[in-house]
Structure 1
């Protein structure tokens, strides 16, 4: 898959089949649309193009929006590549772009910029300045400029929007199992291992403290989770605590993972952590000893969870 950081960077050599959207999460609902795109491009001999935007339009148009996303742009690109897309265009979204009229968008972006033969788009899609144009306008423009419009059904669009909303809600509530069922893969975060206070070492459970790659990445609710990572080419199981560490009067939220049967130095290294299951809420314990007993129980519960998946 080729990645372009603006529409201007993209120079089409053939006609293209295009879809556009935020595709946050690249979940099961999105995949049905992406399958239509790749099948159509193969049948017609055209190249497939996904046009997406960064920053997210809501980040630009709603200045006070504290929007958290399921994917960073790098994560989204990696997920889209797995779907067999030929070209990904990540166009900078700004106020000037939002003010393009519907016809300017069709003529300058779709026709001249992308050389489209067909666009695959939701039946309720609105576009152009103030989102005044609809699917009927797009079909009319298609007849005028010589491209086809394939409408995605209401059912498929509902699946996308409902899934995105439910995934975010599930993660904010700590319901990892629900989120993963809609995503079609384990939710994950990418980050760098940074130095912490090393309190875990004092009770026999050293942890890697993770600084997420991007501040807009959605972090699941506070609690203890069953997780895994690929380390040195091997899948390593672990348990993660997200929270304020109330037992030690912690301040601010930390993301710490303890890996089972792994004790190598990870400081400064990039790390991808996949979430599989939530064990419990974060709790304030009366003593270090009580905390240590609970963490040992968490370790045994983590081992049992993976054994159950493999049985």
Structure 2
């Protein structure tokens, strides 16, 4: 296949799909650990002349089983699929995670989806695999089922974060880092800056009044929002242009704010675009590269403006350094 094919359910699979190598997972964030598994899948498929297929789920199982305590997702479905496609797989099979699906036993899932549906010759997965009703199947279960149904099971070792022995790359570790505002650590686990996507909406216009106009994301944005604070990063507009930005996350304590918002002040725009730079209504991407400081309530507007100028200067310095690295 020249282009990645996206299938929703077994009914969309073509009859001529051929032998496949398959991996299974939620892949929230598509971090470096996920990318490592997907690369192993692609390499195995190429060696064996198979089609590399990813099985993933929508919605995330946690949203179905424990919606009141489900973790905040790192990426929306569209972003996740785009990141999976970028790894070079041939196809993605998106499973509608319904009650009818999640009651399948490990044997039923394997027979229906892997063997009959995909004609799997190999299953490439991490050793922490859990699947089937109540996660009752594990890696050893898959090996046994592979022997029974005639497919190979290829185990992929955990991906360790470069330079930190034993530090496992996982979606949970990324969420924990984001809760602490540690987007620098997240960068090393994702292999790219963490991002939040959403529509630019009108805010209170305080930033514009202070000389630092901001693009405010809608509350319906996708992607986990990091801890309150100020960050250096980028805003990618609807045309794909990537603008350096000082990013504020929080409720603006200086003005007794209540609602938590993501605001991006784009810096160093070309002179001719300063006046007509309008992002309202655009669906944009806000990328968090580095944490600058926590959110603080300042006594008076003058101190706030002085701090904002320092934030812009520090953002400019950090981004320049990162582009030279």
* TM bracket (short chain): over 0.9
- Match in the other structure for 1:244: 251
How many equivalent residue pairs? Answer: 310
In the alignment, is residue 135 of structure 1 matched against residue 139 of structure 2?
yes
Give yes or no for contact 1:118–1:150 (8 Å, CA) kept in 2: yes
Equivalent residue for 2:119, pick from 115, 118, 121: 115
Q: Cα–Cα, structure 1 residues 135 and 235, in superposed 2: closer, same or farther, change >3 Å?
A: closer
Q: What residue ranges of structure 2 are gaps of 5+ in the alignment? A: none
Give yes or no for contact 1:98–1:129 (8 Å, CA) kept in 2: yes
Equivalent residue for 1:50, pick from 54, 58, 64: 54
Q: Cα–Cα, structure 1 residues 147 and 310, in superposed 2: closer, same or farther, change >3 Å?
A: closer
Alignment of 1:153-232 (within 5 A): 153=157, 162-211=169-218, 214=221, 217-231=223-237, 232=239
Q: Cα–Cα, structure 1 residues 214 and 97, in superposed 2: closer, same or farther, change >3 Å?
A: farther
- Match in the other structure for 1:304: 317
Any idea what SS the aligned residue of 1:143 has? Answer: helix
CA distance in 2, matches of 1:42, 1:103: 27
Give yes or no for contact 2:159–2:169 (8 Å, CA) kept in 1: no
Larger deviation: 139-148 or 269-278?
139-148
Give yes or no for contact 1:49–1:85 (8 Å, CA) kept in 2: yes
TM-score, normalised to structure 1, is 0.92
Equivalent residue for 1:74, pick from 75, 78, 81: 78
TM-score, normalised to structure 2, is 0.89
Q: What residue ranges of structure 1 are gaps of 5+ in the alignment? A: none
Give yes or no for contact 2:62–2:70 (8 Å, CA) kept in 1: no
Q: Cα–Cα, structure 1 residues 161 and 92, in superposed 2: closer, same or farther, change >3 Å?
A: farther
CA distance in 2, matches of 1:66, 1:139: 30
- Match in the other structure for 1:292: 305
Any idea what SS the aligned residue of 1:191 has? Answer: strand
Q: RMSD of aligned C-alpha atoms?
A: 2.2
Give yes or no for contact 1:238–1:259 (8 Å, CA) kept in 2: yes
Which 4+ runs in 1 deviate beyond 6 A? none
